[in-house]
Amino acid sequence: MLKRMYLVAALVGSLAMIAVACGNDNGGSTGASGTPSAGSTDVCASDAFGCVTYASGEPIHFASLLAISGATATLGTDSNNGVKLGMDYLDGTFDATNGQLLGHDVTLQEEDDGCSKDGGQAGATKLASDPTVLAVIGTSCSSSALGVADTILSAKGILLVSPSNTAAGLTAEGTHQDFYLRTAQNDAIQAKVVADFVSSAAPGLGFTKAATIHDESPYAAGLTGGFKTFFEQAGGTVTSEQAIQSTDTDFKPLLTTIAQTQPQIIYAPDFNDACWQMAQQMKQVQGLENVPFMGSDGCLASDFFDKGGDAVNGSYNSGPIPAPGGTTSALLDQYTAAYKDQFGDPTASFNTNAFDAFNIIVEAIKKVAIEGSDGSVTIPRDALRNAMYQTSGYEGITGSLTCIPTGDCQSQAAVNIAVFQAPKGGPAIGGPASDAIFTEELTLGEALGQ
**Structural domain includes residue 273:** yes
Q: Give just the sign of the alpha carbon dihedral 336, 337, 341, 345.
A: positive
Same domain, 288 and 370: no
Same domain, 123 and 217: no
Same domain, 333 and 394: yes
**Structural domain includes residue 25:** no
Check: CB of residue 78 under 8 Å from CB of residue 34: no
**pLDDT tens, position by position, for the chain (450 residues)?**
333 332 323 333 333 333 333 433 333 344 454 445 545 778 999 999 999 999 999 999 999 999 999 988 999 999 999 999 999 999 999 999 999 999 999 999 999 999 999 999 999 999 999 999 999 999 999 999 999 999 999 999 999 999 999 898 999 989 999 999 999 988 888 899 899 989 986 567 899 999 999 998 888 998 999 999 999 999 999 999 999 988 899 999 999 999 999 999 999 998 878 999 999 999 999 999 999 999 988 887 777 878 888 888 888 888 766 555 455 558 989 999 999 999 999 988 889 999 999 999 999 999 999 999 999 999 999 999 999 999 998 989 888 899 999 999 976 544 444 444 444 444 444 444 445 567 777 777 777 776
**Structural domain includes residue 103:** yes
Same domain, 216 and 241: yes
**Structural domain includes residue 10:** no
**Structural domain includes residue 5:** no
What is the count of structural domains for the chain?
2
Same domain, 316 and 344: no
**DSSP 8-class letter at 8:** -
Helix axes 73-88, 330-343, angle to 10 degrees: 120
Beta bridge partners of 417: 320, 440
Q: How many Å from the N-terminal Cα to the C-terminal Cα in the chain?
A: 23
Question: What torsion, rounded to 10 degrees, do the Cα atoms 4, 65, 221, 348 define?
Answer: 140
Instruction: Give the helix/strand (H/E) hosting 340.
Output: helix 330-343
Same domain, 374 and 430: no
The CATH number for 222's domain is 3.40.50.2300
**Structural domain includes residue 195:** yes
Same domain, 354 and 313: no
Check: CB of residue 366 under 8 Å from CB of residue 378: no
**Structural domain includes residue 307:** yes
Angle at 129 between CA 169 and CA 121, to 5 degrees: 35
C-alpha distance from residue 265 to each of 195, 239, 258, 291 (Å): 11, 10, 11, 5
Same domain, 202 and 181: no
C-alpha distance from residue 118 to each of 74, 127, 148, 149, 368 (Å): 19, 14, 8, 10, 34
Domain that holds residue 333: 60-185+324-399
The residue among 360, 375, 399 that closes a domain is: 399
